[in-house]
Amino acid sequence: MTVVVLDAPSGPLLPYPSWLAGADVVLFTGRSPVEIRDTDGYAGVRPFARYEGSAEVERAVLALAEVRTVTAIVATASADSIRAGALRDHLGLPGQGRESAILFRDLVAMRQRLAGEAVPTVPFGAVRRVSDLYWFAHEWGFPLTVRRRRTSGWPTVATLRDEAEVREFTLGGISGKLESLPDLVAEPQTERSLVVTDLGSRLPDTGVGGADLPAVARAAFTALPPPTGPYPYAVEACRTAGGAWLVGSVACDFGEARARDAVRAQAGLAPELEEVS
């Protein structure tokens, strides 16, 4: 079996050969050759100078699939999730597909799905032009929170408290390139809390701040594709002044402790048992 590992640099290189013992592991990576001097255990290693933002990686995987039987695509970095899903769909491989990956990576797509399934969600709007921020301020009032819509964790890039701060934030435009849409989403400023679940299947009877939160979390999991690995998912939610819970996001939260199980699950292998001393 040949397992292709997509490796967008996002921390130390994981020990894929030891975690996937018995498989021919081929590494496609955005790291420099200096970072991957130790290639022991790999059936092949190929660095890409233009790993992000080009189709070279996809073409290389498809070319490999013409000469070897690729049985799985492994991708732990959020930046690789959509690319990996599209390749699985094209090659007919098990695991998370492109549509599911988009829902869990793009905060606007996720909330659109949740809202379409009648799950109460934090108000939101894609920021495509400067005027959108003024419109959202008119709709919700200040302050506005502006977040990255496709970056892991959807980090906050600005909190805008008045029109003067909107003008300062938008000075020079809101996209790095004129030909590309901004990677931004706006929402009213809210306080957040987390409820961590076990695969989305078992939730506590009471949640942070009240017994109604698990019901909202269950609704969110019903609206989204099922989890695709042996690691917990986290529901980000906030509570309104009237006491109602609003879902902000649902995200994978396997963390370093479960990285090995996540890798093996994507490769179609059972979790390894921990050694007992």
DSSP-assigned states of every residue in 113-152: HHHHTT--B---EE--SHHHHHHHHHHH-S-EEEEESSST
Residue 61 has pLDDT above 60, yes or no: yes
Residue 206 confidence (pLDDT): 43
Burial label for 150, CB within 10 Å (0-12, 13-18, 19+), is middle
pLDDT tens per residue, range 29-46: 999 988 888 899 999 999
Residue 6 confidence (pLDDT): 97
The neighbour count for residue 227, using CB atoms within 10 Å, is: 22
What band does 166 get if pLDDT is binned at 50, 70 and 90?
very high
Map tokens 């059972």 to a residue. Answer: 270
Residue 241 confidence (pLDDT): 83
Element (H, E) at 263: helix 259-266
Amino acid at 195: V
Please tell me the distance from the alpha carbon of residue 42 to that of residue 57, in angstroms, as a whole number. 17
Question: With pLDDT > 90 as the criterion, what percentage of the chain qualifies?
Answer: 60
Per-domain boundaries in the chain: 2-96, 106-120+191-252, 125-188
Average pLDDT, the chain: 86
Strand blocks (E) in the chain? 2-7, 24-29, 42-47, 70-75, 125-126, 144-148, 156-160, 184-188, 193-196, 233-239, 245-252
The neighbour count for residue 67, using CB atoms within 10 Å, is: 8
Map tokens 């050759």 to a residue. Answer: 33
pTM: 0.87
Please tell me the distance from the alpha carbon of residue 46 to that of residue 35, in angstroms, as a whole number. 12
pLDDT tens per residue, range 111-145: 999 999 999 999 999 999 999 999 999 999 999 99
In this structure, which topology does domain 2-96 adopt according to CATH? Rossmann fold (3.40.50)
Residue 177 confidence (pLDDT): 63
Residue 201 confidence (pLDDT): 46
Question: With pLDDT > 70 as the criterion, what percentage of the chain qualifies?
Answer: 84
Residue 199 has pLDDT above 60, yes or no: no
Candidate ranges 101-105, 175-179, 253-257; pick with highest mean pLDDT? 101-105
Residue 272 has pLDDT above 70, yes or no: no
Mean pLDDT of the 176-190 span: 81
Mean pLDDT of the 10-21 span: 92
Burial label for 112, CB within 10 Å (0-12, 13-18, 19+), is middle
pLDDT tens per residue, range 148-164: 999 988 999 999 999 99
Q: Considering Cα of 244, then 249, then 254, then 255, what sign does the dihedral take? A: negative
